[in-house]
């Protein structure tokens, strides 16, 4: 019995010693560890599970295997035109070489400090290298959409610009919205390329750098608003110019059609009147040939009806004009 008690006590002591010395450690999924002995790296563990270490003398430093995020502070940076803007960037990174990371960086806080220096420097260099439009816009879709809106649906008979000839509004659009060469996405790629160069020496892989937000500085905001107003006025002027051109063309066509219709109507009216006068003259001639004396009498009566009511002069009754009024024969 005493022997069993001694064995049990021995086992308990061994278990207590193991618990106190802690020769095991657990590495979870998404973690990696660097095992050091008296400050020197003995091994790097990247697989999850229960691991063994030398009690007391071995130290385990854990790092994440996951993709981590870096959020920089907004920076007030100048563009190539010396216009200041606030640029807010973010990035994704991960530790790919724990041994190098431990030797050169060691702590996560120091890693973020190194990332601050490298990425912010790359962002500052790239933004100051290009004009404002390259940082603000990612594509020229505003030009394409503007050209689509200005594609007026007109009658086929209207004159259209010849092939290769630009309309006035297209020229205004090109003036108002300068086409970009790279755009924000390409600038982000250039920032990433510049920052990636110094990452391997820290055991870090930089996955991407993204411009999260661009905000105009206070001294630039008003000038940007003024420029936007000016650009929209130019586009509006283009709309009005094209509209007035179409209006003038349609009015010209209407006036031309009106003149043609009136000319044809006057011609038809003149021909009708000429035919009527010819028929009237023929009828008068036929009537005169039938009875010249009666024809003269009838014409005299018509003349009396027209002239005598408004007569304001005194004329002799011996005149031939009054022969049918005063002569009995």
In the chain, what are the domain boundaries? 2-64, 68-150+167-243, 256-290, 293-329
Cα–Cα distance, 313 to 291 (Å, whole number):
33
For the cut 50, the answer to whether the pLDDT of residue 167 exceeds it is no
Is the whole model's pTM more than 0.85, yes or no? no
Fold held by 68-150+167-243: Tetrahydropterin Synthase; Chain A (3.30.479)
Higher pLDDT, 21 or 73: 73
State the DSSP H helix or E strand holding residue 59, giving kind and residue range, or none if neither.
strand 58-64
Cα–Cα dist 299/305, whole Å: 10
| pLDDT value at 245 more than 70 | yes
132-136, 140-144, 148-152: lowest mean pLDDT where? Answer: 148-152
Tell me what the pLDDT averaged over the chain comes to.
80
pLDDT at 20: 62
pLDDT digits (tens, 9 = 90+) for 98-123: 999 999 999 999 999 999 999 999 99
Residue 38 — very low, low, confident or very high, per pLDDT cuts 50/70/90? confident
Say what the pLDDT of residue 112 is. Answer: 94
Surface-to-core class of residue 111, CB atoms within 10 Å of its CB (0-12 exposed, 13-18 middle, 19+ buried) = buried
Q: What is the DSSP letter of 1?
A: -
Q: What are the CA-CA distances from residue 315 to residues 243, 297, 308, 322 (Å)? A: 71, 20, 11, 10
Digit-coded pLDDT (tens) for 175-217: 446 777 888 888 999 999 999 988 999 999 999 999 988 887 7
Return the DSSP state at 130.
S
Q: Which residues of 301-312 are buried (b: 16+ CB within 10 A; e: fewer)?
A: eeeeeeeeeeee
What number is the average pLDDT over the span 48-64?
86
Q: Which helix (H) or strand (E) holds 234?
A: helix 218-290
User: For the purposes of burial, counting CB atoms within 10 Å of the CB of 97, is it exposed (0-12), middle (13-18) or buried (19 or more)?
Assistant: middle
The answer, yes or no, to whether residue 254 has pLDDT greater than 50, is yes
Task: Please give the angle made by the CA atoms of 246, 251 and 255, to the nearest 5 degrees.
Answer: 150
């Amino acid at each position: 019995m005493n022997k069993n008690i001694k064995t049990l006590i021995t086992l308990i002591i061994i278990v207590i010693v193991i618990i106190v010395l802690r020769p095991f450690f657990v590495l979870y999924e998404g973690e990696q560890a660097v095992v050091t002995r008296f400050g020197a790296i003995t091994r790097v563990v990247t697989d999850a599970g229960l691991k063994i270490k030398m009690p007391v003398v071995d130290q385990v430093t854990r790092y994440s295997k996951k993709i981590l995020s870096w959020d920089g502070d907004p920076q007030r940076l100048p563009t190539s035109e010396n216009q200041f803007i606030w640029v807010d960037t973010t990035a994704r990174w991960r530790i790919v070489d724990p041994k190098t990371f431990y030797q050169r960086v060691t702590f996560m806080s120091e890693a973020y400090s190194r990332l601050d220096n490298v990425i912010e420097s790359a962002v500052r260099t790239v933004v100051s290298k290009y004009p404002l439009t390259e940082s603000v816009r990612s594509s020229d879709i505003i030009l394409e959409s503007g050209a689509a809106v200005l594609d007026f649906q007109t009658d086929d008979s209207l004159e259209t610009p010849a092939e290769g000839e630009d309309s006035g509004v297209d020229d205004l659009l090109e003036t108002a919205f300068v086409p970009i060469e790279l755009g924000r996405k390409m600038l982000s790629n250039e920032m990433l390329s510049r920052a990636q160069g110094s990452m391997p020496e820290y055991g870090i892989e930089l996955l991407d750098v993204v411009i999260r937000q661009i905000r105009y500085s206070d001294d630039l905001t008003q000038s940007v608003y003024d420029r936007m107003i000016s650009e929209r006025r130019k586009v509006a002027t283009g709309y009005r110019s094209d509209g007035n051109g179409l209006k003038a063309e349609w009015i010209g066509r209407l006036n031309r059609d009106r003149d043609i219709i009136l000319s044809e109507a006057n011609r038809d009216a003149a021909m009708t009147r000429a035919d009527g006068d010819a028929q009237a003259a023929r009828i008068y001639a036929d009537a005169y040939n039938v009875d010249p004396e009666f024809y003269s009498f009838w014409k005299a009566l018509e003349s009396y009806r027209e002239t005598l009511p408004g007569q304001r002069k005194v004329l002799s009754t011996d005149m031939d004009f009054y022969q049918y009024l005063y002569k009995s024969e």
